Structure 1
Amino acid sequence: MTNWPQLDYLGWRDTCSALHLYLQIAGKYRLAHTPWLNHSWHATFYVTPMGLASSPIPDGPGIEILFDFKNHLVTGTCGNGHKTSFDLEPMTVAAFHARFVQLITALGGTPTFNGEPNEVPNPVPFVEDHRDRPYDRAAVGRFHQALVAMDRVFGRFRTGFLGKSSPVHLFWGSFDLAVTRFSGRRAPLHPGGVPALPLAVAQEAYDREVSSVGFWPGGGGIDYPAFYAYAYPTPDGFKTAQVQPDGAFWHDTMGEFILPFAAVQTAADPDAALMAFLTSTYEAAADLGHWDRDLLECGPGNPRQVRPHDAGQHAAAPAVADSVVEREDGPSKGRYRLVINGYEAEMTYSRMSAELIIIDHTGVPDALRGRKVGERLVRQAVEDARRDGVSILPLCPFAKAQINRHPEWQDVLQRSPV
């Protein structure tokens, strides 16, 4: 497993800011020469074992840009086999811009692109930015090591979705590594408001409903590296949804869930901690936003294993509507469980009083997804609540969404604040 390094944003903030602007210069070159792809996917960078790469840019003989964080170089390679590079080192943004223009020219490209930064406060044109910038090689190396680790987890997360999903890619405007899932439905017109980002770009980026997760190295409202998760449009109840792991919280100012990088880096199993954040925030967005999860999801992919097709799967699978759900009820906590073909699904609850239970979690293994197993657990809880004269407060996003979809179940809801 790739090691998760410590990251200290305040310790390398100036280098981070410089790297952000350097990536914007290269990214704007790519943007200027690549046909538009939905949601600006044509302009991003991708994590590689060496650093961040552009993929081929259709300019001149075909050019690829690599920010090599192992050897601390910017390297350009073109279709005729020619390669050239320059050092990443302390310099001004204007100096980087000049070297980059020379590199593209030497490769037979056309170095024409927009010359002003985006999504940063008080942007200064690149050629006019003569402030000396440091370059901390060790900090950049740790940043790259962290990107490689999270790219692995983001990529694994992406395999469990059959609907439209973005690549795992780095946006040079906001300087974040991200992966986004789409419900397949149109979204309300985005209001814009992103600093130095054209309104048309923001509205095109968010013209479909999304659940997005990603990572910032720091800045933009927080002074530490962190993972984030948001949904657009934000469904009712999203910000109060219970998400994992314990270090995750809702940031009112930013309007999204935040998980400090340190909470992942110091976890006993960093990959599992990050996956819990990605999965729980997506499930909250999908359940509260009424996404068709049965259609959109699948089990995570595995090497050398073809994903089984699901044609006729629902018809062939044993019905669960009348399956026996077991209940384990204790003085303060309890759970419902349903076992099918050796796979166990569960829904847990806490007993607040003799008249009230709180449903706090529903878990269905990948092998049982798409068979309405979770719905069966919620239905059993509703039936038991009616029989026992108990009210239900569904804090679990899945249970809440199920009860919202079934008006005939809503007589058991807890109506007044706890």
Structure 2
Amino acid sequence: MSNKWPRLDYLSWRETCSALHLYLQVVGKYRLAHTPWLNHSWNATFYVTPSGLTSSPIPDGPGIEIVFDFHEHSVIGSNGDGHRASFALGTSTVAEFHANFARLVSQLGGRPVFHGQPNEVADPVPFDEDHRERSYDREAVRNFHQALMAIDRVFKAFRTSFIGKSSPVHLFWGSFDLAVTRFSGRQAPVHPGGIPALPDNVAQEAYDREVSSAGFWPGGGGIDYPAFYAYAYPAPSDFRAASVQPDAAFWHEGLSEFIVPYEAVQTAADPDEALMAFLVSTYEAAADLGHWDRDQLECTHGQRGKVRELNAKVPEKAASSVSEEVEREDGASKGRYRIVVEGVEAEMTYSRAGTQLIIIDHTDVPAALRGRKVGERLVRQAVEDARREGVFIIPLCPFAKAQIERHPEWQDVLRK
């Protein structure tokens, strides 16, 4: 498996990207029509492979698998009887792709019967009526696949530290994004729907449970560059104000999601670490502000060749964090708490509002220390000091606020 993170330029391959999106919709709709419904539309997605994307086996005829091979630039079908059929990917129209695919399915003993119009795109045109020729940039497709391989690897590593319900790492052909989703286990408010060319009941079924979701878009849909996204549904109060990593990450008002450009990850000293920091920090913001039962939902990161230890929810390295001292730098109007673990500093800052009140305004825990309860240590120390000094706390910082809300025994220091 390649560890390379290629450069991606959405504007230079936008036409090919749009074509590939629609081709995946054709095949995805075939899979959707022939598989039993699985929660959150998981029965219709694609999965990254070393050669491209696969549908996995579809229960039609003798059983059919469809692969988009981005090395050979072809669509390859195989069935349970050992037969194969294929056709080339290249400059074409959606109508031609649709006809070629229908023939391939028939050759493999399947029934090419499925809904014939795209979803989640503006001004959808039925597949068999879309005769506009679209280019196919082979090099751009190879780079896209190489990026998917790298992203898939990090997403899967991130998934290992969650023992609650989690989605596979899979590609949705409607929104054309590779995604991974975590669930709190609680029911969510009914989704309002309104997604273009997508039935409301599909959106409502997809979001019937509380989620923290992250993914990757190659571009389009409101942004003209490839990017990673993260959102929570329903979004907790103050979620948009949460401190997330890496530094290039930001809250996109138009999308109501956190975004970090792919380029910021790709050019980082350690792209895997930069992406993991985004995944972890946005999840922690959603889970803490949403009052998820993290102790019951999380576990240690998976290790190669090693069985997960039961009830071991905190990474082994976290043991060093509990032995480190929290230091306080207190001034007349401002101050901060800091802790240094293995040479990495985390801090929480505050301001004084008179002699009886401090306002916690920011917490910064670097990616290397996330998941090790370092931020919790900082808040706990502030609570203990407030009790000893007879002062109250206003936690304006979303992280500190969430921590105090998770610990009812700390709430005696809150200003009523």
Quote how far apart the aligned CAs of 1:348 are.
Answer: 1.6
- 1:110-149 to 2 correspondences below 5 Å: 110-149=111-150
Cα distance in 1 for partners of 2:101, 2:391 equals: 68
Q: Do the aligned partners of residues 87 and 367 (structure 1) sit closer, same or farther apart at CA in structure 2, a change above 3 Å counting?
A: closer
Quote how far apart the aligned CAs of 1:330 are.
Answer: 6.7
TM value normalised by structure 2: 0.89
Cα distance in 2 for partners of 1:18, 1:83 equals: 24
- Asked if residue 200 in structure 1 is aligned to residue 201 in structure 2, the reply is yes
Aligned to 1:326: 326
Quote how far apart the aligned CAs of 1:345 are.
Answer: 11
Moved more, 405-414 or 32-41: 405-414
For the residue of structure 2 that corresponds to 1:173, the secondary structure is coil
Cα distance in 1 for partners of 2:397, 2:48 equals: 35
Q: Which amino acid aligns with 2:183?
A: F
Cα distance in 2 for partners of 1:367, 1:352 equals: 26
- Is the CA contact (8 Å cut-off) linking 1:358 and 1:392 kept in structure 2? no
Cα distance in 2 for partners of 1:54, 1:89 equals: 20
Aligned to 1:360: 363
Aligned to 1:41: 42
Query: Residue by residue, what CA displacement relative to the aligned partner does 1:350-369 show, whole Å, maximum 9, x if unpaired?
Result: 25458645341357968966
Aligned to 1:255: 256
Query: Residue by residue, what CA displacement relative to the aligned partner does 1:44-66 show, whole Å, maximum 9, x if unpaired?
Result: 00000100000000001100000
Cα distance in 1 for partners of 2:268, 2:324 equals: 37
Cα distance in 2 for partners of 1:60, 1:344 equals: 60
Aligned to 2:189: 188
- 1:302-313 to 2 correspondences below 5 Å: 302-310=303-311
Q: Which amino acid aligns with 1:335?
A: Y
- 1:121-270 to 2 correspondences below 5 Å: 121-270=122-271
Cα distance in 1 for partners of 2:144, 2:263 equals: 13
Cα distance in 2 for partners of 1:403, 1:345 equals: 24
For the residue of structure 1 that corresponds to 2:13, the secondary structure is helix
- Is the CA contact (8 Å cut-off) linking 1:299 and 1:367 kept in structure 2? no
For the residue of structure 2 that corresponds to 1:360, the secondary structure is strand
Cα distance in 1 for partners of 2:168, 2:95 equals: 31
Quote how far apart the aligned CAs of 1:171 are.
Answer: 0.1
Query: Residue by residue, what CA displacement relative to the aligned partner does 1:385-415 show, whole Å, maximum 9, x if unpaired?
Result: 3445666554654422122245664565589
- Asked if residue 335 in structure 1 is aligned to residue 334 in structure 2, the reply is no
Cα distance in 2 for partners of 1:345, 1:399 equals: 20
Query: Residue by residue, what CA displacement relative to the aligned partner does 1:38-86 show, whole Å, maximum 9, x if unpaired?
Result: 0000100000010000000000110000000011000001111111110
Quote how far apart the aligned CAs of 1:384 are.
Answer: 1.2
Aligned to 2:349: 350
Q: Which amino acid aligns with 1:236?
A: S
Quote how far apart the aligned CAs of 1:299 are.
Answer: 1.2
For the residue of structure 2 that corresponds to 1:5, the secondary structure is coil
- Asked if residue 28 in structure 1 is aligned to residue 34 in structure 2, the reply is no
TM value normalised by structure 1: 0.89
Quote how far apart the aligned CAs of 1:329 are.
Answer: 2.7
| Matched residue count | 402
Query: Residue by residue, what CA displacement relative to the aligned partner does 1:133-155 show, whole Å, maximum 9, x if unpaired?
Result: 10000110110010000000000
Q: Do the aligned partners of residues 277 and 395 (structure 1) sit closer, same or farther apart at CA in structure 2, a change above 3 Å counting?
A: farther
Quote how far apart the aligned CAs of 1:349 are.
Answer: 1.5
For the residue of structure 1 that corresponds to 2:22, the secondary structure is helix
Percent of matched pairs sharing the same residue: 68
Cα distance in 2 for partners of 1:24, 1:405 equals: 43
Cα distance in 1 for partners of 2:395, 2:171 equals: 36
Q: Which amino acid aligns with 1:181?
A: R
- 1:21-100 to 2 correspondences below 5 Å: 21-100=22-101
Cα distance in 2 for partners of 1:293, 1:229 equals: 18
Cα distance in 1 for partners of 2:24, 2:141 equals: 13
Q: Do the aligned partners of residues 138 and 414 (structure 1) sit closer, same or farther apart at CA in structure 2, a change above 3 Å counting?
A: farther
Query: Residue by residue, what CA displacement relative to the aligned partner does 1:261-319 show, whole Å, maximum 9, x if unpaired?
Result: 011011111000000000000000000000000010011101100000119x99xxxx9
- Is the CA contact (8 Å cut-off) linking 2:340 and 2:346 kept in structure 1? no
Q: Do the aligned partners of residues 61 and 240 (structure 1) sit closer, same or farther apart at CA in structure 2, a change above 3 Å counting?
A: same
- Is the CA contact (8 Å cut-off) linking 1:286 and 1:293 kept in structure 2? yes
Q: Which amino acid aligns with 1:358?
A: D
Cα distance in 2 for partners of 1:351, 1:163 equals: 35
For the residue of structure 2 that corresponds to 1:228, the secondary structure is strand
Q: Which amino acid aligns with 2:190?
A: L
Cα distance in 1 for partners of 2:383, 2:301 equals: 31
Query: Residue by residue, what CA displacement relative to the aligned partner does 1:25-46 show, whole Å, maximum 9, x if unpaired?
Result: 0000000001110000010000
- Is the CA contact (8 Å cut-off) linking 2:281 and 2:370 kept in structure 1? no
| Structure 1 residues without counterparts, runs of 5 or longer | none
| Structure 2 residues without counterparts, runs of 5 or longer | none
- Is the CA contact (8 Å cut-off) linking 1:193 and 1:199 kept in structure 2? yes
